[in-house]
A = this chain, B = another copy of it.
Amino acid sequence: MASNAEKVSEEVQKSSIEDDEDIVNPWDVVSSSAKGVDYSKLISRDMHQILDLVEKKTGFYLYTGRGPSSESMHLGHLIPFIFTKWLQDTFDVPLVIQMTDDEKFLWKDLTIEETNKLAHENAKDIIACGFDKDKTFIFSDVEYISESTEFYKMMCKIQKLVTFNQVKGIFGFTDSDSIGKISFPAIQATPSFSSAFPQIFTGKKDVPCLIPCAIDQDPYFRMTRDVAPRLGLLKPALLHSTFFPALQGAHGKMSASDPNSSIFLTDSDEQIKTKINKYAFSGGRPTEEEHRKHGGDCDTDVSYQYLTFFMEDDDKLADIKSRYSSGEMLTGELKQELITVLQNLVGEHRKTRADVTDNLVNEYMKSRKLKFDY
């Protein structure tokens, strides 16, 4: 086996995305530029393959996930799910959502019972995004691994093909890391293959997988794409949602442990207003006079960036950009636009989530056939 496992493919070796400017891995997204990560370096992969399948009306499935380390999900966590819901609604395909409670147990100072409970709590926020229950399977690793022989077998198959050298190169693990962390990447790779879900795909091994995810999860799927051909299986295709900046600017990643780095789904209208006004990095000029004269910088202005994610009306967004860039619109007005949009969005989410019962969560998390036939 060793000889096979040692064949670190060129793909993986070349794709380590850490250069002089940007660092992108599951624990750090650091850009030296206020405009954020240079996405042109992260090539979109095999999307043509998925579009071909849509054209031919051949099926595929969606896979995304969440690491449940905190009850408080923020807006950044929501982005991939909003995007995924759009993909599900548009293409009418099955969706599997992995809650990595084992991962968060391994990485954080939490018990496995706590992370498992958080998986269920976070599932409520995810369900509140409006996923169709007949088309969506949400699963906790701790629960599903101890329920599905095929999932565990696939985990083992991937773990057999990936060496410590490889995960060291991709994730920066060291000899002092726990063997749990070291072997975890295989668990996140596993749902990329349809045979891990025999109850959904009735044993079909070749249903193509499309993974919409935040950019920080890219290393896991570079590894997955490297392993796939050696398993005789299809590489999953990836769609990266643009990384959602912290309130303080595009340099870093929002953190659930810093309440002022983002808007949380539990924030009140008043908290949203205060946070945007106080912390949202402004692309405006120091004085009103200068601003009127030179205009604001939409590329670095966090309030404007947030509006590009959440303002549905493209014409209105274009109008705001034009008026802010010209100096006609002041930072306070721009921030007020965002405050209104977010108070609505978070308010709606709060209402929908309140209706998500534990029972409903259990229905989404029950291993079952979805409403697709294979």
A contacts, CB < 8 Å to B:
1-2, 5-6, 102, 105-109, 112, 142-143, 145-153, 156-157, 159-165, 167-168, 173-180, 182-183, 185-186
Contact = CB atoms under 8 A, between A and B. Distances in A.
Given A163-B178, A176-B164, A149 B143 contact: yes
Contacts of A178: 1-2, 5, 159-164
Given A151-B146, A152-B145, A156-B102, A107 B1 contact: yes
Contact of A175 (B106, B152, B153, B165): B165
B160 A177 contact: no
Given A146-B150, A159-B178, 17 more contacts: A1-B109, A2-B178, A5-B178, A6-B176, A102-B156, A105-B160, A142-B149, A142-B156, A145-B145, A145-B152, A146-B148, A147-B149, A159-B179, A162-B179, A164-B175, A167-B179, A180-B183
26 contacts: A1-B106, A1-B108, A6-B176, A105-B156, A106-B160, A112-B156, A142-B149, A142-B152, A146-B147, A156-B180, A159-B178, A159-B179, A159-B183, A160-B178, A162-B178, A162-B179, A163-B176, A164-B173, A164-B174, A164-B177, A164-B178, A165-B176, A179-B182, A179-B183, A179-B186, A182-B182
B148 A163 contact: no
A146 B167 CA distance: 25
A185 B177 contact: no
Report how many copies the assembly holds: 2
Nearest to A108: B1
B186 A164 contact: no
Contacts of A161: 178
Contacts of A168: 175
Contacts of A1: 106-109, 178
Nearest to A179: B183
Contacts of A150: 146
A180 B186 contact: yes
A26 to B, nearest CB: 16
Contacts of A186: 179-180
A5 B181 CA distance: 11
A342 to B, nearest CB: 35
B183 A163 contact: no
A174 B168 CA distance: 12
A160 to B, nearest CB: 5
B147 A163 contact: no
A5 B1 CA distance: 28
A165 B167 CA distance: 15
A108 B167 CA distance: 22
Nearest to A5: B178
Contacts of A109: 1
A149 B146 CA distance: 5
A48 to B, nearest CB: 32
Q: Which 9 A-B pairs have the closest CB atoms?
A: A159-B180, A183-B183, A146-B149, A146-B152, A179-B183, A165-B175, A5-B178, A164-B175, A160-B180
